Amino acid sequence: METNQPKIKAAILGATGMVGQRFVQLLSNHPWFEISALTGSDRSAGRKYSDACYWRQEGDMPAAVRDMQVLPAVPPVNAGVVFSALPADIARDVEPEFARAGYIVCSNSSAYRYEDDMPVMIPEINAEHLALLDSQKKKRGWDGLIVTSPNCTTSGAVFPLKVLNEIFGLEKVFLVSMQAVSGAGYPGMPYLAIADNVVPLIEGEEKKLELEPRLLLGKMNGRERISAPMSISAQANRVAISDGHTICLSVKLSKSASLEEVKAALLSYAWPEEIKQLPSAPLQPMIYREEADRPQPRLDRNAGGGMAVSIGRLRPCPILDFRLVAVVHNTLRGAASGSVLNAELLKARGFLG
Amino acid sequence: METNQPKIKAAILGATGMVGQRFVQLLSNHPWFEISALTGSDRSAGRKYSDACYWRQEGDMPAAVRDMQVLPAVPPVNAGVVFSALPADIARDVEPEFARAGYIVCSNSSAYRYEDDMPVMIPEINAEHLALLDSQKKKRGWDGLIVTSPNCTTSGAVFPLKVLNEIFGLEKVFLVSMQAVSGAGYPGMPYLAIADNVVPLIEGEEKKLELEPRLLLGKMNGRERISAPMSISAQANRVAISDGHTICLSVKLSKSASLEEVKAALLSYAWPEEIKQLPSAPLQPMIYREEADRPQPRLDRNAGGGMAVSIGRLRPCPILDFRLVAVVHNTLRGAASGSVLNAELLKARGFLG
Amino acid sequence: METNQPKIKAAILGATGMVGQRFVQLLSNHPWFEISALTGSDRSAGRKYSDACYWRQEGDMPAAVRDMQVLPAVPPVNAGVVFSALPADIARDVEPEFARAGYIVCSNSSAYRYEDDMPVMIPEINAEHLALLDSQKKKRGWDGLIVTSPNCTTSGAVFPLKVLNEIFGLEKVFLVSMQAVSGAGYPGMPYLAIADNVVPLIEGEEKKLELEPRLLLGKMNGRERISAPMSISAQANRVAISDGHTICLSVKLSKSASLEEVKAALLSYAWPEEIKQLPSAPLQPMIYREEADRPQPRLDRNAGGGMAVSIGRLRPCPILDFRLVAVVHNTLRGAASGSVLNAELLKARGFLG
Amino acid sequence: METNQPKIKAAILGATGMVGQRFVQLLSNHPWFEISALTGSDRSAGRKYSDACYWRQEGDMPAAVRDMQVLPAVPPVNAGVVFSALPADIARDVEPEFARAGYIVCSNSSAYRYEDDMPVMIPEINAEHLALLDSQKKKRGWDGLIVTSPNCTTSGAVFPLKVLNEIFGLEKVFLVSMQAVSGAGYPGMPYLAIADNVVPLIEGEEKKLELEPRLLLGKMNGRERISAPMSISAQANRVAISDGHTICLSVKLSKSASLEEVKAALLSYAWPEEIKQLPSAPLQPMIYREEADRPQPRLDRNAGGGMAVSIGRLRPCPILDFRLVAVVHNTLRGAASGSVLNAELLKARGFLG
């Protein structure tokens, strides 16, 4: 991208919440995008962003957005790309309005994530699923489009699963997550409910985790996505930690492989060069930690600016084939940064501007 | 037991540590036992207990032990039963000395837990394994004996596994634990290492968890114990919580069964009446929580005075048959109280006094 | 009180919240009172208590209340005493309705705490303030009455202040509190707002702490209460802890005194014998910890069943005279148990039944 | 400083501990300094740094130091400046050896902090105290010198105190701190000792806090430092937080002043321009937060890259004159970064290279 090109204007839907604030933070110094519009709920619309929003990120609210007026979440907005941090029930109505009105929507919500014509996108994993957008256009008749990001835990688990599926074939995946409190947005769980505790239920999460990796690892058959045929069992737990999801995995492979072969595959996988060129992409999307007690969310969640997934503890499984542990930053790779990277891919592929 | 019978004198080995203090707390008002001797390391021996020990339990150190002199951990001691809270490497030498000298040792350490002639005992689960003591006597030539308790996580997991194994047969068990910091004793993990973190390694723990349930659920063949034939895959994590281990389980049964049948079995299992009579035994050793988000360690760890295991979230597993969650108090049922209950069983069966 | 006397029926206003649940817990096995009515908000009224209330206390909801129907908070209720766990804005309207209708209201709210005719009562501190009830009756014309409890932090600070004021005279009190999250009720602070954090503001708290001790330590002049003339500077902080407020105090005395004299006074103060006879009163209302690093909320909050205030670290102050630290259980002595003790005092003095 | 000048070689004493690792992190991309030597204890000396040190900072250990051999802490080392992260008892012997051998030692320890000829330095506060180095040279006869940093809590408190003292005069300071666990280095407090707790004692801390601000705010009389004449009362508490100390202050001024005047002074104070030019100095050394509930350590500790002190909640005090709250990052401004800034001042003033 030439440096003297003007930046693409970006609107953020749901800009006052936790993920919305992350979008503001990420786009404030973005080389390709600049914030042009912020929307909020009825309670926020019409107020200055600095009045409507209690800033909960480290560092101050960027000066450029302090005085922007929060708009209602309806088109038109002055934007070449729209980032949605809306909750699923609101996104259900609002995102299609923007797509219909011709906007490119990069959504972080689950509202449309499971539709056949909807890419659930992580650029390093399944950029070829952009072909679904043709089906989307045909089926919906929109001038714009929607690209979605997966659930935060999926965003971590799918990196090692991608490698294992591609090199050895994946038949079964056993997954137990220990998820950070920020995964539920703000306010999320009361201190009294989660401090000194583990809550072994995250409403609706297990269904998502048993479905989404199969979508992301699916193969395109023309403009149709064929879900990967593996079976997944997921158990999701909330633990007392601010950011960073930890995922215990056990997998059964299609081909027999030694631990050394599996480790070599995880270490040497060639992630697509095209994606590494995108501004938000980490040099190494997946990092194998050799220490016996890693990855750990506190030490590893910010690897690659919060965009690298850290894995480790590869070892045999007495029931399936191999076990390992993954850590992902749930509000960066698993949420806002993931959507920004999707927008960057769309730009690079000519969908934007 | 007649109430006018004199109490049995009890020695506590390793009395100044975390589990040792729990023993002191539990035995201070025990109807059958009374503390007669406390041992400690070279650094503690010779000092008053109140000087040698920083009391970290809620409530004050019991007055009766404050002025007791801490002894070195060598026989003879004035005791009819010996509780061992020693670390495994020290227990390895010290416990047999006491057994050889004729003492009944109820051990919380793992030093001898995996020997063929050694009961790993939870009275509600495998009281019939006391028959191993005949083999022990024959093999070791001791005048006394050692009975061990299982690992704290095993102590929780084995309750639902017992029921499932007995009613339906268990073929495979997938287990992921989220374990409290107190499981490692005091000082255990630094705040800076575990706060706002998950550590996906507990040295040596997974091997224990893959072996111990098979011992506890083993059948006696005469005086020999035949390990239960199931396969177990265990992943152990440390989380930022004080007390209470949470265990995600997935199981494959030998017989096909509906969710209703499995739930009915867990709810209606007839735990042995003999054990319920023991002073430290809970009325209900296992409690099924119907709430969708239970069991939780903060709310359920103290059920039955810390002796009841709470389970819940029974649901199908896409890979094996059923999934559920268990919570156990790791320093009560999973440590000191478990050993006291073992001693009570020995008393009831006539091994003591 | 004779043991064959029937128990006094007790209603709990605001029974589903945090303090309300504590009242339920405390009154479920009370020797003098028995729960006869539970009230809740419009959302709860008409439902079974077990449906209207997510029980957040350790141990199960007492069986006797599970099926009680939650009532709206309006008289009449079937009760000889009414405990109010209402928030201040609702208490403002509801408590007088009950008092007017003839009920004895023991309130935990701040709604009427600062009125001239209203006892702010801790039985060990200022039982003689019950004389204010004559003024209250005259001024309000109620058939019933209201007795209030102080703020949770006041409930701790006032114990050492009482002794110092009575023996040496108090001129100035400097107070900085570190308060537990449960002080704000449920849900209270989000985990994301207070974990790994200190919040140096508790709305309205400092004003309360600068006023209430002066009321509690006030002298009666006939039926009028003369506020104690000391000046108080209070700074209140919220810290990441579940239960137990810690209070750093520095005081200037009217009489000069040595550290030994002050310590002796704190250790030997003769708390009123009448109060020690009440069922919820601790044997020792204030405990001096000799350890250099005590009191600590985790270790000391439950002293005396959560009713004893622990103090320690008495040392000179380079600016005023002496410094010390106090710890109080904010939801027991500082809230529900405090109100129950007030009711017990009213019973003992013949106001009830 | 010209950019083509070679970097000054820097040795880090005590490089494997918490503060030592911070030095490594800070100096790895420093524009003026480059790491040339790392020392450690007998246990570490001779090993590769990556073997001797468990890296506990976010992000990986810098590649350039991984293979450096850890040296014993004895001169000579290849260095133009020496940073000391040694514990006080070891620093007591080692730092003078280096100073005697001609090295410029920037020390983070308290070993020599209280000697008359020793600058306790924060460049924005008391750069003129460098004049003490003449006295030091004369008194000690060293070829090198030692400059020390103050205690971490002092490092925060002294910023607002500096302004108040200079503009209005300070007579009395009341200070209560709530200090992060990292202040005690690694391992520091066990999780079981500080989680869900407050510990109202930090050994030796209160004495430091009652002395150090008087040194830092002292006036030079020729080559002699006259301690500021204010009296200070300090109470130090440990709270369950990773990084960031919070300090409640109350002050008595020499001149009478309105709240508006005091606030204006805090907002408009002209910090020395010379210091702002130093690479590690923040643009704004002190930030006044207008929000009612700020500063908070989680949100404010990283202001100015961890080098800016955040203050707020200025309000009248019923006993002294004004109260306010300060937050400082204890391992950056309050430790390693503070010493690096001292070295930068020494370089700018011509003491180095």
Which token pair is B202? Answer: 């507990």
> Given a cut of 50, is residue A25 above it in pLDDT?
yes
Which token pair is C99? Answer: 């008092």
ipTM passes above 0.90: yes
Please report whether residue D52 resides in a domain. yes
Q: What is the pLDDT of residue D155?
A: 98
Which token pair is A325? Answer: 């542990």
Q: What is the pLDDT of residue C2?
A: 52
Same domain for D157 and D261, yes or no, is yes
User: Chain centroid to CA C244: how far?
Assistant: 13
Average pLDDT over residues D310-327: 98
> Given a cut of 70, is residue B1 above it in pLDDT?
no
Please report whether residue A141 resides in a domain. yes
Determine whether the interchain pair C59/B302 forms a contact, defined as Cβ–Cβ distance below 8 Å: yes
Determine whether the interchain pair B194/D191 forms a contact, defined as Cβ–Cβ distance below 8 Å: yes
pLDDT in tens, C54-95: 999 888 899 999 999 999 999 999 999 999 999 999 999 999
Same domain for B141 and B159, yes or no, is no
- Residue of chain A whose alpha carbon sits nearest to that of D50: A291
> Given a cut of 90, is residue C302 above it in pLDDT?
yes
Q: What is the pLDDT of residue C58?
A: 81
* Chain A: residues touching C (Cβ < 8 Å): 18, 56, 181-182, 186-196, 240, 242
Tell me the nearest-neighbour CA distance from B295 into chain C, angstroms: 12
B233 pairs with which residues across the strands?
Answer: B174
**Helix H or strand E encompassing D337:** helix D336-348
For residues B67 and A36, what is the distance between their CA atoms, to the nearest angstrom?
Answer: 74
A66 burial (CB, 10 Å; 0-12 / 13-18 / 19+) is: middle
Spell out the alpha helix ranges (H) of A220-282: 259-268, 273-276
Determine whether the interchain pair D56/A299 forms a contact, defined as Cβ–Cβ distance below 8 Å: yes
Average pLDDT over residues A206-211: 98
**Helix H or strand E encompassing A133:** helix A132-140
| CB-closest option in A178, A297, A298 to B178 | A178
Please report whether residue C2 resides in a domain. no
Using CA atoms in the order D77, D79, D82, D86, what is the torsion angle rounded to 10 degrees?
A: -30
**Helix H or strand E encompassing A198:** strand A198-199
| CB-closest option in B174, B197, B296 to A297 | B197
Q: What is the pLDDT of residue A3?
A: 58
For residues B286 and B314, what is the distance between their CA atoms, to the nearest angstrom?
Answer: 14
Determine whether the interchain pair C235/D248 forms a contact, defined as Cβ–Cβ distance below 8 Å: yes
Q: Which domain, by its residues, includes B186?
A: 152-330
pLDDT in tens, B48-67: 999 999 999 888 899 999 99
B192 contact residues in D (CB cutoff 8 A): 18, 56, 181-182, 186-188, 242
Tell me the nearest-neighbour CA distance from A274 into chain B, angstroms: 33
Same domain for C183 and C277, yes or no, is yes
pLDDT in tens, B182-208: 999 999 999 999 999 999 999 999 999
Using CA atoms in the order A64, A66, A71, A73, what is the torsion angle rounded to 10 degrees?
A: 80
CATH number for the domain spanning B180: value is 3.30.360.10
Tell me the nearest-neighbour CA distance from A140 into chain C, angstroms: 39
Same domain for B161 and B308, yes or no, is yes
- Residue of chain C whose alpha carbon sits nearest to that of D251: C319
Spell out the alpha helix ranges (H) of D85-204: 88-100, 123-126, 132-140, 152-167, 191-194
> Given a cut of 50, is residue B255 above it in pLDDT?
yes
Q: What is the pLDDT of residue B3?
A: 58
| CB-closest option in B172, B210, B248 to A200 | B248
Same domain for B195 and B54, yes or no, is no
Q: What is the pLDDT of residue C277?
A: 96
Determine whether the interchain pair A58/D196 forms a contact, defined as Cβ–Cβ distance below 8 Å: no
Q: What is the pLDDT of residue D5?
A: 83
Average pLDDT over residues C138-167: 97
Say how many residues make up chain B: 353
Tell me the nearest-neighbour CA distance from C143 into chain D, angstroms: 40
Which token pair is C52? Answer: 């209207």
Please report whether residue D353 resides in a domain. no
Strands D8-13 and D33-39: parallel
> Given a cut of 60, is residue A2 above it in pLDDT?
no
Same domain for D239 and D316, yes or no, is yes
Catalytic residue among B245, B248, B317, B329: B245
Determine whether the interchain pair D246/C325 forms a contact, defined as Cβ–Cβ distance below 8 Å: no
Q: Which position has the token pair 């639902």?
A: B160
pLDDT in tens, B291-302: 999 999 999 999
> Given a cut of 60, is residue B132 above it in pLDDT?
yes
CATH number for the domain spanning A42: value is 3.40.50.720
Nearest to B192 by CA among D270, A240, A120, D189: D189
Average pLDDT over residues A194-209: 98
Q: Are A38 and A70 in contact (CB under 8 A)?
A: yes
Q: What is the pLDDT of residue B60?
A: 87
For residues A242 and C196, what is the distance between their CA atoms, to the nearest angstrom?
Answer: 9
Q: Are D301 and D329 in contact (CB under 8 A)?
A: yes
Please report whether residue B2 resides in a domain. no
Same domain for B114 and B253, yes or no, is no
> Given a cut of 60, is residue B324 above it in pLDDT?
yes
Nearest to D80 by CA among D310, D349, D346: D346
Nearest to A112 by CA among A215, A232, A24: A215
Same domain for B127 and B42, yes or no, is yes
Q: What is the pLDDT of residue A288?
A: 98
What percentage of chain D reaches a pLDDT higher than 90?
96
* Chain B: residues touching A (Cβ < 8 Å): 172, 174, 176, 178, 196-201, 210, 231-233, 235, 237, 239-242, 244, 246, 248, 250, 292-299, 312-313, 317-320, 323, 325
Q: What is the pLDDT of residue A1?
A: 47
User: Is B30 an active-site residue?
Assistant: no
3-class DSSP state for residue B338?
helix
- Residue of chain D whose alpha carbon sits nearest to that of B196: D242
Q: Which of B56, B241, B299, B329 to mutate to test the interface with C (most CBs of C within 10 A)?
A: B299
Q: Are B155 and B122 in contact (CB under 8 A)?
A: yes
Query: Considering its fold, how many domains does chain A have in total?
Result: 2
Please report whether residue B183 resides in a domain. yes
Q: Which of C242, C319, C320 to mutate to test the interface with D (most CBs of D within 10 A)?
A: C319
Please report whether residue B1 resides in a domain. no
Q: Are B173 and B134 in contact (CB under 8 A)?
A: no
Residue C257 φ/ψ, nearest 5 degrees: -150, 150
pLDDT in tens, A46-78: 999 999 999 998 888 999 999 999 999 999 999
Which token pair is A136? Answer: 């989307």
Q: What is the pLDDT of residue A116?
A: 96
Tell me the nearest-neighbour CA distance from D230 into chain A, angstroms: 34
Q: Are A36 and A68 in contact (CB under 8 A)?
A: no
Same domain for A220 and A138, yes or no, is no
| CB-closest option in C58, C196, C303 to B299 | C58
Q: Are A40 and A352 in contact (CB under 8 A)?
A: no
Q: What is the pLDDT of residue B289?
A: 96
| CB-closest option in A195, A196, A302 to D58 | A302
Q: Give exposure, A264-280, as e/b (b: 16+ Cβ within 10 Å).
A: ebbeebebeeebeebeb
Q: D254 Cβ partners below 8 Å, 6+ apart? A: D168, D169, D170, D171
Q: What is the pLDDT of residue C5?
A: 83
> Given a cut of 60, is residue C1 above it in pLDDT?
no
Nearest to C344 by CA among C99, C123, C101: C123
For residues B105 and C4, what is the distance between their CA atoms, to the nearest angstrom?
Answer: 49
pLDDT in tens, D222-245: 999 999 999 999 999 999 999 999
Please report whether residue D3 resides in a domain. no
Give the angle A57-A63-A69 at the CA atoms, nearest 5°. Answer: 95
What percentage of chain C reaches a pLDDT higher than 90?
96
Q: B249 Cβ partners below 8 Å, 6+ apart? A: B157, B160, B161, B173, B174, B175, B323, B324, B325, B326
Same domain for B110 and B177, yes or no, is no
Average pLDDT over residues A19-38: 96
Which token pair is D161? Answer: 């105190």
Which token pair is A111? Answer: 């509202």
Which of the four pLDDT bands, split at 50, 70 and 90, describes residue A195?
very high
Average pLDDT over residues B224-228: 97
Q: What is the pLDDT of residue C59?
A: 82
> Given a cut of 60, is residue B157 above it in pLDDT?
yes
DSSP code for D87? -
Q: Are C325 and C311 in contact (CB under 8 A)?
A: yes
For residues D139 and B143, what is the distance between their CA atoms, to the nearest angstrom?
Answer: 74
Does the pTM of the predicted model rise above 0.80?
Answer: yes
- Residue of chain D whose alpha carbon sits nearest to that of B194: D191
Q: What is the pLDDT of residue D59?
A: 82
Same domain for B199 and B100, yes or no, is no
pLDDT in tens, D166-204: 999 999 999 999 999 999 999 999 999 999 999 999 999
Q: Are B76 and B84 in contact (CB under 8 A)?
A: no
Same domain for B118 and B188, yes or no, is no
